[in-house]
Structure 1
């Protein structure tokens, strides 16, 4: 409910994700009612959540592709993905001409072998609408989602980085695991193995434990995309640095220098020049920019100066933030190596060799430094 009404983040993606979790919640809730001995309660909740079951696979596909493409709205044709959900609504409506449903029998079948064993009539359409059409729907959307992801992976402009990339990979893998795992009862039933058995339950619990442990080490998964839906790229974290007896708020290495930081840190011009010279010398001599994960904290440690002084010198004296500064070295390295190695290795491999983590980062940095994309740049250089 928080995701559905959240004002932060991408509203479309929040709603799609909320539908996925609401469907999962409904499945868990109705599973508690299978043997409750209250058929009327089971009937109400089962029929209420059934449309969400048929909407969830489409929401999964639209969420993943929408996240990768950073889309804010659905195209008209994409609304056709919700036709199964519309059919499910028609299915559960208590039409006056439909037969009376036996909810005691429905509850017993669901409790015995799970959701995909329901052979009793549960609405307007025949039973196969539930036990056959729904598994096919889940598996089909799972396949087209992975196909879409693999296609987008080959397009550098669609690459995402940082926390967003980690989140979407995490979500895609976990959702794939549980969607495939939800189809296991069909296999178990075909092999005449009981749906409720110790191995099946232990495997579920083990998977949940692994997910929980991973999430505890990656808190942005919850606070960035599930609970708060913060856009991490627009509000960089602020850290505090100690100068004397006071604390000064400083931006992270990718953010722009602030007036407060400029005023509070007092360095003589000679110190600024010495620090800047030392930074440039160590970068050129040791080629630290070739390290993919090289951070400002590592640079400060090598020079044995405070991190906030290091950041201040780069921002104030050199006139760039740390990321742009180190990427400029990487681009220059690429420009020197490309004429020598272009016939042997790909641009992606050469960019990685220069210290870039992804093609998207490389293209952005290259255009920022030269004003052109690599292909156009080298065509112009060769034409001179």
Structure 2
């Protein structure tokens, strides 16, 4: 057994990921669910890098136990994409909690683990690349990654496509961290994909050493990037409760939430372009900071987005009216916006299209 630079880098990566998993698990400055998911992801990544290291060091032919361990624990790859999906969701929503029904996402892992547990009892020393069912299992892993990437993207889109909208919920450091982690995840998956294509599809074993080397380099850079971010921008992983000193009880929040909705629907305060937080505070007879808290926690929006959402719905009704003679500027002013540009930006932010495009689609649909 000979260790080269990549092997040493991989060993460092494994220890780094384990240490970071312990650190994040003990981190009490950010939501518990998010910490646990990230810790589990790092441990799974460490397991997979370790399996690849055993293959690269050719320990399988030395003793049967190494081949069995690689095959068995290699099924941990089925854990990566669902853990990634739920971790991204926990970053988007700091109130996210893992529920029992989510465990169905991990059925493929348990199924693959149980299957390979029985299969490895009959294998020889060097069956890492050729054990029965390998192609089907790896195809499932590749397909699973694609499906969960799509699902994660849909989750991100549900919170908005622009940086401005994301900043309403997540500060800039957390957004940068989410992007880094997503790109790193895709690169690691791509490194696994080229191994799968090279060996299992095209049957070119000469690709494997280069494929493993690329995987080691990618993993090393990815985990050191995480370490760098943790040291330079620790706030990326912290979340301080904004209203931890609030005196509002949950029943109070629910009561004022209903009153707030009634104000918006009945009195339509949003039609006033000069409306501010204090106007709502006076109507509800509570402090402005309490109004802000209710909007942030009950609607997962800031004050401006909350107001603009009602204005957008009002403008939609005007845009679809065929007998409406108002132009876009007139509709913007009537809906509570103070300029056409502000209306266009808010409308596209909430709907993904401009008012003009919405009106054109509505006209085409009605005709």
- TM-score, with normalisation over the residues of structure 2? 0.52
2:153 counterpart of 1:131: no
Task: Determine which structure has the larger helix proportion and give its number.
Answer: 2
- What is the total number of aligned residue pairs between the two structures? 239
The alignment partner of 1:196 has SS state of helix
Unaligned runs of 5+ in 2: 1-20, 244-288, 290-303, 309-331, 351-367
Instruction: Specify which structure has the bigger relative contact order, considering alpha-carbon pairs within 8 angstroms and separated by 6 or more residues.
Output: 2
The alignment partner of 1:66 has SS state of helix
Q: Measure the CA separation in 2 of the matches of 1:171 and 1:213.
A: 9
Alignment match of 1:163 (pick from 147, 152, 173): 173
Alignment match of 1:6 (pick from 5, 11, 26): 26
Alignment check: 8 A CA contact 2:89 2:152 kept: yes
CA offsets per residue over residues 144-188 of structure 1, 9 Å max, x none? 212221222259587312321121121112212222332122333
Cα pair distance change 1:199/1:106, threshold 3 Å: closer
Cα pair distance change 1:23/1:348, threshold 3 Å: farther
Q: Measure the CA separation in 1 of the matches of 2:37 and 2:53.
A: 25
2:101 counterpart of 1:77: yes
Unaligned runs of 5+ in 1: 110-118, 236-319, 321-329, 352-357, 360-384
Greater Rg by CA: 1
Report what 2:42 is aligned to: 21
Alignment check: 8 A CA contact 1:16 1:59 kept: yes
Cα pair distance change 1:25/1:217, threshold 3 Å: closer
Alignment check: 8 A CA contact 2:81 2:144 kept: yes
Report what 2:239 is aligned to: 231
Alignment match of 2:187 (pick from 168, 177, 202): 177
Report what 1:105 is aligned to: 126
Q: Measure the CA separation in 2 of the matches of 1:20 and 1:88.
A: 18
Cα pair distance change 1:80/1:106, threshold 3 Å: same
Q: Measure the CA separation in 2 of the matches of 1:210 and 1:28.
A: 12
The alignment partner of 1:74 has SS state of coil
Alignment check: 8 A CA contact 1:58 1:141 kept: yes
2:78 counterpart of 1:54: yes
CA offsets per residue over residues 112-165 of structure 1, 9 Å max, x none? xxxxxxx313xxxx3344222121112221222122212222595873123211
Superposition deviation, residue 220 in structure 1: 4.4
- TM-score, with normalisation over the residues of structure 1? 0.50
| Cα RMSD after superposing both structures | 4.5
Alignment of 1:104-253 (within 5 A): 104-107=125-128, 109=129, 119-121=130-132, 126-153=133-160, 156=165, 159-189=169-199, 190-191=201-202, 193=204, 194-196=206-208, 201=213, 205=217, 209=221, 212=224, 216=228, 219-221=231-233, 223-224=234-235, 229-231=237-239
Cα pair distance change 1:213/1:99, threshold 3 Å: closer
